[in-house]
Amino acid sequence: MSKRDERSSERKSCLNRRDFLKTGAAAAAGAAVVQPFAVRSATADTTVRARPKVVRVHDDRATYWDYSSNYYFDHVNQGVVDDMLDVGVKCLTNTFTVADAWNVIMASYVPGDKVAVKINMNNYAGMSNEMDAIAPSINALCHGLVDVMGIPVADIRVYDCSRPIHQQRVKDRVNYAVTYVESGDALAQADYDAPVTFRNISTQYIPLVVSQSQHLINLPLFKDHFYVLATMCFKNHLGTSKPGPSSLHSSIHTNLSDFYVNPHIRDKTRLVLGDALFGLWNGGPYGDPVQWDTFPNGPTPNSLFLSFDPVAHESVMVDYLLAEQAHHGVGETSHDYLHEAMDYHNLGVHEHCNGLGNYTNIWYIERDAHYGEDCWRGNVNKGAGLVPNVLFVNGSAGVNGGVVEVPAGQPIVITLNAPPSRSMSKYALYAWNRQPEACCHKTQPWDLGHTCLPTPMNGASPQPVLIWNNLGYQSVLGVPNRFAPQAPCTIANVAGGLPAGRLYTLQGIIQDDAAIHPQAAVTNAVVIKTV
Ligand SMILES: [Zn+2]
């Protein structure tokens, strides 16, 4: 089998994705079952890289263009995109607050550092609908870097060294006074102390905007290309190269990975953020955004893709592109550069999906921000207003995701209040012997809400190890293995405490007359950690 045949058969299963789509929810549920919800600390970056995580955050409220009126980039809900990125960074880093997430992503940041952001201005022209970098994703990124992390806005350098940055399309619509670096600027010139060597073409150089920045964020678009399969996070850096991209187009597959492996790119990249609010699956890099038939929740992608691994990031994005192209009978352009990036330079993991969004070596997570309330808050009393905590450990509902740290051997008292709407409540309460994944909440049936881990109603693993249930319906809510008096009550009183290193997550369903569901709500979650 030739190399090319191998590559085409390697992803053949994805061409059956329309069949797969028919299975809909069952497939999604199946995918969730196999997710390895391993316990990871927020900073366990090396573990994350072992099986690289790619997160797609979707929200159908992000854009509202009709594909004909005015400018597509003026039909974006900035607040929704901000929320999507907040959800995405928390999910990527497995943290419960946006501040914690950015502190993981930018862990090596010290005040005074510069942050270069590579946008794609490949279609720079007058005011048109040709797909190019647009302001909403830049604004959302600045919200994290400037508003949340407190990085001085002028230290954010939004750049494209080979094109001007459009005044009306970008500068007038970005709400932050970032530093722009565009073709012709002093910082867009080559740093001759920062050469990039290639296997097949002569040396190029990193521009000063990157060599003199400590951090790099790669902000590509969701477009195909006629030279290579896609212009995403790899090809985006042709606008970083000096003297410029033209000579890079011969031997492009080796050039793309040879460029990315340069330490200024590979070692400084803190985040790859794919702006897939809109997409273009044929005719790129030129052309207006188009509607999609096979993209989940289409016809507009309304998505952001996040990863630390550029190869995994692009592998997932191109699978959506390949599926759409196959659906329309569009001939496939080579993506050998992704195989080069993995096989020759070890830049990350390249894999093709085995069914929609289903990967073995890439940890791919899809998250819908529209329904993405923080799982640990629960929804007690939400039909009436504010959501109070009802579950406490030693009187505390915890901080940052409900975590309560208890010294080893110290008493642990778990109490459950009735919701404000009732004096007494029955409940089904669960304890899992693991920490929740910040992003991997489980949606409970009958609009009950979201829990942080799967309940007996979901059937997925990991299932709770302790169950208190005085609501009945044991075949649905679980067979209790602990005595359960009605709330308000003491659930457990472990006078002698537990050894260090134990970890339990507690959450349940409780009778609530002011819930969104007519009868019951999801309690807050509390994570007990013994230290
Ligand atoms: Zn491939």
Predicted confidence (pLDDT) per residue in 293-308, tens digit: 999 888 999 999 999 9
Whether the CB-CB separation of 143 and 102 falls below 8 Å is answered with: no
Averaged pLDDT for residues 310-328: 96
Measured in angstroms, how far is the CA atom of residue 52 from the centroid of ligand 1? 16
Measured in angstroms, how far is the CA atom of residue 218 from the centroid of ligand 1? 21
pLDDT at 50: 67
Neighbours of ion ligand 1 (CB under 5 A): 7
Measured in angstroms, how far is the CA atom of residue 384 from the centroid of ligand 1? 52
Of the ranges 351-360, 371-380, 448-457, 467-476, the best mean pLDDT one: 467-476
Measured in angstroms, how far is the CA atom of residue 337 from the centroid of ligand 1? 9
Name the residue with higher pLDDT: 150 or 93.
Answer: 150
> What's the CA gap between 408 and 396, in Å, rounded?
17
Measured in angstroms, how far is the CA atom of residue 462 from the centroid of ligand 1? 32
Measured in angstroms, how far is the CA atom of residue 339 from the centroid of ligand 1? 6
- Asked whether residue 504 carries a pLDDT value surpassing 80, the answer given is yes
Measured in angstroms, how far is the CA atom of residue 256 from the centroid of ligand 1? 15
Measured in angstroms, how far is the CA atom of residue 334 from the centroid of ligand 1? 9
Question: Please, which residues bridge with residue 37 across strands?
Answer: none
- Asked whether residue 6 carries a pLDDT value surpassing 60, the answer given is no
> What's the CA gap between 291 and 169, in Å, rounded?
21
Measured in angstroms, how far is the CA atom of residue 11 from the centroid of ligand 1? 7
The pair of structure tokens assigned to 84 is: 């999507």
The pair of structure tokens assigned to 301 is: 């992608």
Residue 57's nearest CA partner among 90, 24, 104 is 90
Measured in angstroms, how far is the CA atom of residue 326 from the centroid of ligand 1? 15
pLDDT at 437: 67
pLDDT in tens, 88-115: 998 898 877 889 999 999 999 999 999 9
Could you please report the per-residue DSSP string of 289-357?
----SSSTT-SS--EEEEES-HHHHHHHHHHHHHHHHHHTTPPPPP-HHHHHHHHTT--S-----SSTT
Measured in angstroms, how far is the CA atom of residue 312 from the centroid of ligand 1? 11
- Asked whether residue 26 carries a pLDDT value surpassing 60, the answer given is no
Measured in angstroms, how far is the CA atom of residue 119 from the centroid of ligand 1? 25
β-pairing, 53-58 with 363-368?
A: parallel
Torsion of CA 215, 317, 262, 209, to 10 degrees: -40
pLDDT at 409: 95
pLDDT at 187: 98
Beta strand extents in 141-257 (DSSP E only)? 156-160, 179-182, 190-196, 204-207, 215-218, 221-224, 230-231
Measured in angstroms, how far is the CA atom of residue 200 from the centroid of ligand 1? 22
Measured in angstroms, how far is the CA atom of residue 79 from the centroid of ligand 1? 36
Residue 35's nearest CA partner among 347, 448, 454, 401 is 454
Sequence-distant (≥ 6) Cβ neighbours of residue 109 within 8 angstroms: 115, 149, 151, 214, 215
Measured in angstroms, how far is the CA atom of residue 141 from the centroid of ligand 1? 30
Measured in angstroms, how far is the CA atom of residue 174 from the centroid of ligand 1? 36
Single pTM value for the model: 0.71
Query: What is the set of domains in the chain, with CATH numbers?
Result: 19-23+372-530 (no CATH), 58-361 (3.40.50)
Measured in angstroms, how far is the CA atom of residue 350 from the centroid of ligand 1? 7
Please state, rounded to an integer, the average pLDDT across all residues of the chain.
86
Measured in angstroms, how far is the CA atom of residue 341 from the centroid of ligand 1? 11
Measured in angstroms, how far is the CA atom of residue 175 from the centroid of ligand 1? 39
b/e map 111-136, b = 16+ CB within 10 Å:
eeebbbbbbbbbbbeeeebbbbbbbb
Beta strand extents in 162-302 (DSSP E only)? 179-182, 190-196, 204-207, 215-218, 221-224, 230-231, 269-280
pLDDT at 35: 21
- Asked whether residue 441 carries a pLDDT value surpassing 80, the answer given is no
Torsion of CA 171, 218, 313, 166, to 10 degrees: 30
pLDDT at 373: 52
- Asked whether residue 261 carries a pLDDT value surpassing 50, the answer given is yes
Measured in angstroms, how far is the CA atom of residue 6 from the centroid of ligand 1? 9
Phi, psi (degrees; rounded to nearest 5) at 441: -65, 160
Measured in angstroms, how far is the CA atom of residue 272 from the centroid of ligand 1? 19
Measured in angstroms, how far is the CA atom of residue 302 from the centroid of ligand 1? 25
Averaged pLDDT for residues 415-443: 88
Whether the CB-CB separation of 356 and 27 falls below 8 Å is answered with: yes
Measured in angstroms, how far is the CA atom of residue 196 from the centroid of ligand 1? 25
Averaged pLDDT for residues 282-288: 91
> What's the CA gap between 373 and 178, in Å, rounded?
31
Measured in angstroms, how far is the CA atom of residue 28 from the centroid of ligand 1? 23
Measured in angstroms, how far is the CA atom of residue 318 from the centroid of ligand 1? 9
Sequence-distant (≥ 6) Cβ neighbours of residue 93 within 8 angstroms: 42, 100, 101, 104, 105, 438
Measured in angstroms, how far is the CA atom of residue 315 from the centroid of ligand 1? 8
Phi, psi (degrees; rounded to nearest 5) at 497: 70, -165
Averaged pLDDT for residues 150-176: 96
Measured in angstroms, how far is the CA atom of residue 259 from the centroid of ligand 1? 19
Measured in angstroms, how far is the CA atom of residue 10 from the centroid of ligand 1? 7
> What's the CA gap between 200 and 529, in Å, rounded?
54
